[in-house]
Each structure stands twice: as structure tokens, then as C-alpha cells.
Amino acid sequence: MIPILYGDEALNFKPIHDEANESEIENRVKEIIASVRKDKDQALKNWAKKLNDKVTDNWLLGLESIDAACMRLPQESKDVLEIAANRIQKYASAVMSLIKPVTVDNETFQTGMDFKPVQRVACYVPSGRYPLPSTALMTAMTARVAGVKEICICTPSVCDEIIYAATLCGVSEIYQIGGAQAAAAVAFGTESVKRADMLVGPGNAYVTEAKRQLQGQIGIDMLAGPSEIAIIADCGAKPKWLALDLLSQAEHDPGARAYLFTDNKDIAEATAKEITANLDTLDLPDFVRDSVKYNAILVLPSLSKCVDKANELAPEHLQLQVKDPESLKSGLLNYGALFMGYYATVPHGDYMSGPNHTLPTGGAARYSGALNPLVFLRAQSWMKSSDKADHLGRETAQFARLEGLTAHAAAAECRIGN
């Protein structure tokens, strides 16, 4: 049964973090990264054996296998993947249309900024408990729209849907490797895995920790861990819909977290009953019955307090199951993606609406946002000076001497009058 919290207990609610488990994961990931960096493909084989993953002499899926998978996939599956791909492309292209080079004319000198994509990106696509072709589309298509030339996919277990999704994004390199070892492989390169400039995409706790440890060695998008949802609901929300929305995220992973914030006690209690009922009727993983106990329904004094709690939690997904979502939107500061109104649900965004489902978790929405084309762009500034910019040299030398940097001053002064 999902806990219902009232009064001060609801106001003071904080998510529980398993620090002991985090330490264990950190140490194991450090070991994996060090071994892959040193022994490359041999380390990948060793870890595959230890973890009962597929062992191969070449982690790259052959083109014949890719073509065969695309031939096998039913047309109905292809159609839905293509609809999703087109919407993701349309959304990402709209974002890219806003990005233009900048030039500032200062008469005697000019400055500016160009935006260039990284050259090679690795997209991590989870496929352990569930294969996620949606993540292949969300990551690879967004990189493609941003102008990335080389895109590869790493996935623990390939399936026809992931392969076809990759081809829709123009990806031909699919590596059958997952976990922290996949992150290390694309960060350093191995005999059969080409090094990448950037690694994007969600993963389990080991993948997320690997991205954290490898940041700086390879660019990353964000630390996207287990799924999260928070819902703000008023008296007009439907308890059955709320229960299904919460369970739709809880079924992702044992570490997924689902929270309902409401100012209505009846809605809270009815939703809790619906969750229990649906645990018996839906074909859910066994872990959901246990993990739902770590989620919560909070009955708060007002919708304003629900907004405060959402800002404090900074959830990955935030649903507004209220009559007038626009009235709450301006007060909401921290979330990865917002779903507004009774008819909007997170699964729309997970698959078909267009905005990216690769989102910050664990409170990271306080300082980061959704995966988008800008993540793949490097802002590169430039300046061009002329022989008429003596004032710039004098100003630069003056400032350099404020900091005691005499060579800086001399480099600027030698150009004055010459």
C-alpha cells in the first residue's frame, strides 16, 4: 500500500537516498572503468562473463544483422516508430531554428559566436528489463538534427525495434554492450569500440555513476537515473487516472519514484485504493508491489503548498492534473518536463508527443534541463581586430597591469601603431 502523509509529515517529507548502496556502486564502477581503460576489449569480455552478458569478439553489430532486423520488424511497429521519429525531429528542428551565429561590430574590431556540433556522439539505450527504442529515437534523432556527423548506439541487448529506430536516425554503428563498461569503452576507445566525444542517454545506477566519474574525459548530457514523477492534483482529478500515471513510472525500475501532491483528502485516499486495485489487474513487474511502498501521497494544505513541494523535489516529470494548469505554471521553477491538464500524461512524452524524454533526475532539474539539440552544440567565440584598434590595445594593457600580468600587457602594446 502506498503511504498517505498528512499535516506536518507531508510538509516535511523528503525522499530517501540509499547512501550505502551509492558507495558500493561507486567503488564497483571505478573498478570497471579502470579495467576497461587498461585492458580494453579483454576487459569488456571479462565483465560480460561476470555479468552473464553476451560475449563476442566484435561488439559492433554487422550491417547484415541490421538489414535482417529491419526486414523482420512488422510494418505496424515500423509505422509507430516513424510517427514518433518525425515528431521528435520536428520538435528538435524547431529548437535549432532559433540558433544563429552572432556578430558584434565594434567599428575597429569585431566579435562573434558560432555554434558547432560535437563530431561523434554515443547514445546509451537501456534494454535490460525493457528494450527502449524510444530512447534510441530521442537521443540519436536529436543529435542528428543538431548536426552531429557520427552517431553510435550502445545497448546491452539489441532488438529489432531498437535497430530500426537507429536506422531512422541515420545510425549504422550499434554496439552490443551496456552498463558502466559501455560508458568506459566509448570514453577511452577499445580495439573494437571507437572513442566518442560525448555520451548521452539514461541508464541504471551503474551507467549514471559511470557518467559521473567519466565527466571531463567525455562530455555527458546529464546524470539521468531511475524515473521520477510528481503529480499535483485538485478535486477534479480522476483517481483512476492518477493511479495509472503513478504506476506508469513505477514500473520502469525498482528505484523509480512516484509522488502525488494534493489538497484533497478524498482524492488522496481514492487514488491509493486505485493503486492497490491496479496492482492486481495490470501485468506489472513483481518489484512494483514492493517499491510502491517507498513512494508517497502527500495531502497538503493548498495547491500553493503543492507547488512549493514540487519546487523542492525538482522532479523529472511533473504533471498538473488540475482544472487551470496555467495558474500554477508560473510558480513552478524546477522540473524536467511539464504535463499540463487532466488529459496530459507522462507516457505521451515518453513516446509520441515530440519533446525529449531524456530528463534530469535526483533533483538535478534545479540546474539542468531536458536533452535537446543545444546539448550537442559548442558555443565558439571569435574576434577579429584591425590596425585601427589601438584603443583596444591600450585598454587591454591597462587591465592586464591591474592583474600584474606584464606579458599580457606587452602582447597588446606591441600592436599599437604598427
Q: Which residues are catalytic?
A: 316-317
What is the rounded distance in angstroms from the CA atom of residue 166 to the CA atom of residue 173? 9
Question: Helix crossing, 19-39 with 205-214: angle to 10°?
Answer: 60
| DSSP label of 366 | G
Q: Cβ(52)–Cβ(108) under 8 Å? A: no
Closest CA to 222 of 43, 356, 414: 356
The per-residue b/e assignment along 232-265, b for 16 or more CB within 10 angstroms, e otherwise, is: bbbeebbbebbbbbbbbbbbbbebbbbbbbbbbe
The SS3 call for residue 302 is coil
Q: Cβ(372)–Cβ(103) under 8 Å? A: no
Residue indicated by cell numbers 530521442: 138
Total residues belonging to the chain: 418
Closest CA to 286 of 253, 314, 264: 253
Q: Where would I find the beta strands (DSSP E) of 332-406?
A: 337-340, 377-385
The SS3 call for residue 158 is coil
User: How many C-beta neighbours within 10 Å does residue 49 have?
Assistant: 10
What is the rounded distance in angstroms from the CA atom of residue 258 to the CA atom of residue 247? 8
Q: Cβ(261)–Cβ(300) under 8 Å? A: yes
Sign of torsion over alpha carbons 130, 134, 139, 141: positive
Single-letter amino acid code for the residue at 353 = S
First-to-final CA distance of the chain:
80
